[in-house]
Chain A
Amino acid sequence: GAVVSQHPSWVICKSGTSVKIECRSLDFQATTMFWYRQFPKQSLMLMATSNEGSKATYEQGVEKDKFLINHASLTLSTLTVTSAHPEDSSFYICSAVGTGTMNTEAFFGQGTRLTVV
């Protein structure tokens, strides 16, 4: 199956700093990528949808100025958590959807665990 790689797998940062998470489709071109977050003992919640070369679409309640998403190429989307606070600590997961025969399934990265101290 197709491979989506997220980096880093885990990160610890200080309050007030920014953290960038990368999501890469390794063997296919991803026209659309999705970013989710998962709080402990809760389900995945969609944060935003990013399409290559255009602005991301954010879900209601997600601050676009805090969670900056860039999808500059067909194989890379980044999520930057700006001015992180402890309440931003969570598990962030991306998924990617390709073109043609690759658009029938969303492929997920392994997730990034962010801890803000």
Chain B
Amino acid sequence: AQSVTQLDSHVSVSEGTPVLLRCNYSSSYSPSLFWYVQHPNKGLQLLLKYTSAATLVKGINGFEAEFKKSETSFHLTKPSAHMSDAAEYFCVVSDLNGNKLVFGAGTILRVKS
């Protein structure tokens, strides 16, 4: 069975500094991996997804993630945080069909001015 571990429940950064949200996965097959963002009182929005193509995946709003099979990691990064990035972020792995999703516990990102 697939599983996802988000290593930090909360991350706090200053505006303009880099963001790193960590995620490790476990899967018995080559996984599809996603990062979703959830702003307060809004639905989940897909930031980016990895589906066995390029290991460095670029997403929306300047976010990117690198799939590292040897480390079973899929960390999310952004060079420079913006106040609007404050939200909860979920690392997600899907089943073979790509539709049934298993969510990590989430990481709340706080951006200080």
Contact = CB atoms under 8 A, between A and B. Distances in A.
Nearest to B104: A43
A69 interface: no
Contacts of A34: 99-101
Nearest to B91: A43
Interface string B91-106: 0000000111111111
Nearest to B49: A105
B105 A42 contact: yes
Given A43-B105, A43-B106, A44-B90, A109 B100 contact: no
B101 A43 contact: no
B48 to A, nearest CB: 11
B57 to A, nearest CB: 14
Contacts of B52: none
The size bracket of the interface on B is 10 to 19
Contacts of B36: 108
A4 interface: yes
Contacts of B106: 43
Nearest to A44: B103
Given A4-B43, A44-B90, A111-B43, A106 B101 contact: yes
A46 interface: yes
Contacts of A116: none
A110 B46 CA distance: 13
B41 A110 contact: yes
Contacts of B45: 1, 108
A109 to B, nearest CB: 5
A9 interface: yes
Interface in A1-52: 1, 4, 6, 9, 32, 34, 36, 41-46, 49
Nearest to B44: A108
B14 to A, nearest CB: 25
A104 B98 contact: yes
A51 B43 CA distance: 21
Interface of B: 9, 36, 41-46, 49, 90, 98-106
Interface of A: 1, 4, 6, 9, 32, 34, 36, 41-46, 49, 93, 95, 97, 103-111
